[in-house]
Structure 1
């Protein structure tokens, strides 16, 4: 079996959701025709995540077809973990290039788990600023903004689920001299948790593009 990492974190999260739906289907549906259709649809959806798979990789993912119980689901997902592509941790020099206007950039804490991460997010609590490093077509893109705590639950603009959020705001120069444009959106307060629920890169890319 190949040891090549080929699953992005968001793809792993999507696979995990499909696996959990299979377990739920087996627990609640008695009609084998319905179960068969659910299995076929789940495998089809997972296959569509990838543009190119080796026979071994496809066989590995198709193993989800035989999952009916929670224990088997957990074992299947555990066996997929070594194939997740980790987030490429940017160096301190790279971070400073991503945020050139920040004179005293507070770097992310040491010991972060980059294995199941689609984007990097870290806060400077003292200045109420959040820094986001997201994958781009070529390397990374950095997004810096302020944040406001919120006591309400909203849909996160990145992972698209109802959760505890912060209001993230950016400020860019306007067309006229001396003017600025502010943009804001609600995103998960807990960025690590957001990474665990992100199912597609599309929402993340849209968020970054809209906030730039």
Structure 2
């Protein structure tokens, strides 16, 4: 077979590799956002519980302080202290509530949206491959999906450095553990974890 005859075959291999690479990237990013969303959702629950406890604690402290002050200063103006303490408690509560709404809850919503967008992208990519001639995307179609992938990544990029690396590591560990369970559903917890570590150390196919 001549070099000219080899070119279409090599090109198909290249496109298939790029398609596979894009599919893996989408799965990875969606998995990382799954982990991050679980983390922010947990923080949100903890902070809401903390807000309730903090409000109760502040109320208790306010009334305790008033009783102590009245013992030392019988002529103290109780209504003014109540108003001041109440406003202070309200301010602290609102600061925590706003932190929940504009930081943690905002990030949580962003991760949920990113998960949905990556899921939609993965579905559209698979649908396009099924509909395409020969089951392979054209260069224009593949570039279109790469652009969509990059746009989603840029719009949902809130975590960098150690936090992102940690989330990625957790996702890959879960993926390996799931593969281990699929290999042998009768593995004990310890056996599944040990097998997952072995799977994680394996080089990627074709690597």
The verdict on a shared fold, with TM-score over 0.5 as the criterion, is no
TM-score, with structure 2 as normaliser = 0.25
TM-score, with structure 1 as normaliser = 0.24
In terms of fraction of residues, the more strand-rich structure is 1
In terms of fraction of residues, the more helix-rich structure is 2
Structure with greater Cα Rg: 2
Looking at both structures, which has the greater relative contact order when contacts are Cα pairs under 8 Å and sequence separation is at least 6?
2
